[in-house]
């Protein structure tokens, strides 16, 4: 019976260190953020460099039409739609201005 009491005493004497836990969580969040930025820049963006004009046109269709692919292949439109997550449209931005900004971004990334 004494060993059970000693075990509880050892657990309760360990101090809780919230600062250490917060720093670990903050470091993990920063790592995830940097890894996502690296992946977007080095893996995802080069996919759009093969046909930038086609991608831009499909993004315009995705943002303008309810069913841009119609009954055809949806994969190119899904890939184009992913670009809108990498470079989101501002809330007050007109479609043409957004497309121009998207084109500049692709041009910069594909150099």
3-class SS string, 1-46:
CHHHHHHHHHHHCCCCCHHHHHHHHHHHHHHHHHHHHHHHHHHHHH
Instruction: Judge if pTM exceeds 0.85.
Output: no
The whole-number pLDDT of residue 5 equals 54
Q: Which of 47, 25, 27 is nearest to 35 (CA)?
A: 27
The whole-number pLDDT of residue 17 equals 80
The whole-number pLDDT of residue 103 equals 93
The whole-number pLDDT of residue 7 equals 58
Burial call 55-84: b when 16+ CB within 10 Å, e when fewer: bbebbbbbeeeeebeeeeeeebbeebbbbe
Domains of the chain, residue spans: 2-109
Instruction: Give me the tens of pLDDT residue by residue for the chain, a chain 111 residues long.
Output: 555 555 555 556 677 788 989 999 999 999 999 999 898 888 888 888 888 899 999 999 999 988 888 888 888 888 888 888 888 999 999 999 999 999 998 888 887
């Amino acid at each position: 019976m004494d060993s059970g009491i000693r075990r509880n005493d050892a657990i309760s004497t360990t101090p809780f260190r919230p600062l250490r836990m917060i720093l670990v969580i903050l470091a993990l969040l920063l790592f995830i953020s940097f890894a996502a930025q690296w992946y977007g820049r080095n893996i995802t963006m080069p996919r759009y460099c093969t046909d930038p004009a086609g991608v831009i046109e499909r993004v315009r269709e995705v943002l303008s039409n309810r069913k841009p692919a119609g009954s055809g292949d949806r994969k190119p439109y899904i890939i184009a739609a992913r670009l809108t997550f990498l470079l989101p449209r501002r809330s007050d931005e007109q479609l043409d201005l957004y497309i121009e900004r998207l084109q500049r971004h692709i041009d910069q990334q594909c150099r």
